[in-house]
Amino acid sequence: MSHFKAPPKKNLGQHFLTDRRYIDMIVLAVDPQPGDRLVEIGPGQGAITFPLLRRHGELTVIEFDRDLITPLMEASEGVGRLTVIHKDVLQVDFSKLAADDGQHHGRQIRLVGNLPYNISSPILFHALEHAAAVRDMHFMLQKEVVDRMAAGPGSKVFGRLSVMLQAYCTVTSLFDVPPGAFRPPPKVDSAVVRLVPLPSAEVGISDPALFERVVRDAFGQRRKTLRNALQQVCSGADIEAAGLRPDARAEQLEVAEFKHLANHLAALPPAA
């Protein structure tokens, strides 16, 4: 039995993937290898769960919907070793999950999931907080969100999400998934994205909280110049001293320039 029928719950933003071709493409993109520690977020009816389990033999899933847990466990019998964590994914400590791996101490986890569209950004930021424990992530999201995640400077959709994710990960949009591949069909196109956390030495951000604030304020009002958007954080002279133009707008800056600006500000002596 590959998966089971359960009515999707609107309040949980559930859209179950049913098209075999796209399921196979996701499994191929993940390409699990012996020894990998796979963790799936929101397995739903098991559309991706069971093909991964058949291919890999073991899988940990995080499922918030209590009604799906018993059917998932029953359907996994004879397929492979399935571990279910019944929790809100935002409450799951990925670092602890990686460290708790009894067989291999501190083995990095690989995250997979068809993320609920209503909470995809918080899940992405939660995963970033544990980037050192995560080897890579393959997520299906609303195509519009994936476009924003992978966008470069100058693009209309390049914004806070693009900079925050690309500062810590290599982001690659892999392929689009049409509404007809789901039950019920969502009103939007979906896409699969791969995120590979950068080694911490490569991230090069000296004060993550300050970096986050600079990025948030810079994009807070898109039409504003950096000088105006960042006036709560720094002066035009500070921006200039970092080698950037105070009259530039946030969407014109490279990710590396945001890092450079935040690091420059972090190194300034505190104002008297």
DSSP label at residue 40? E
Q: Is 15 annotated as a binding residue?
A: yes
Q: Is 17 annotated as a binding residue?
A: yes
Q: Is 88 annotated as a binding residue?
A: yes
Q: What is the sign of the dihedral through the CA atoms of 260, 266, 271 and 272?
A: negative
Q: Is 42 annotated as a binding residue?
A: yes
Q: How far apart are CA 89 and CA 63, in angstroms?
A: 8
Which residues, 6+ apart, have CB-to-CB distance to 198 below 8 Å? 131, 168, 169, 170
Q: Is 86 annotated as a binding residue?
A: no
Q: How far apart are CA 193 and CA 111, in angstroms?
A: 12
Q: Is 35 annotated as a binding residue?
A: no
- Half-sphere exposure at residue 72, Cβ-oriented, CA atoms within 13 angstroms: 29
Q: How far apart are CA 165 and CA 163, in angstroms?
A: 6
202's tokens: 């490569």
Q: How far apart are CA 95 and CA 101, in angstroms?
A: 10
Q: Looking at this protein, which amino acid is placed at residue 174? A: L
Q: SS3 for 160?
A: helix
Tell me the binding residues. Answer: 15, 17, 42, 63, 88, 114
Tell me the binding residues for S-adenosyl-L-methionine. Answer: 15, 17, 42, 63, 88, 114
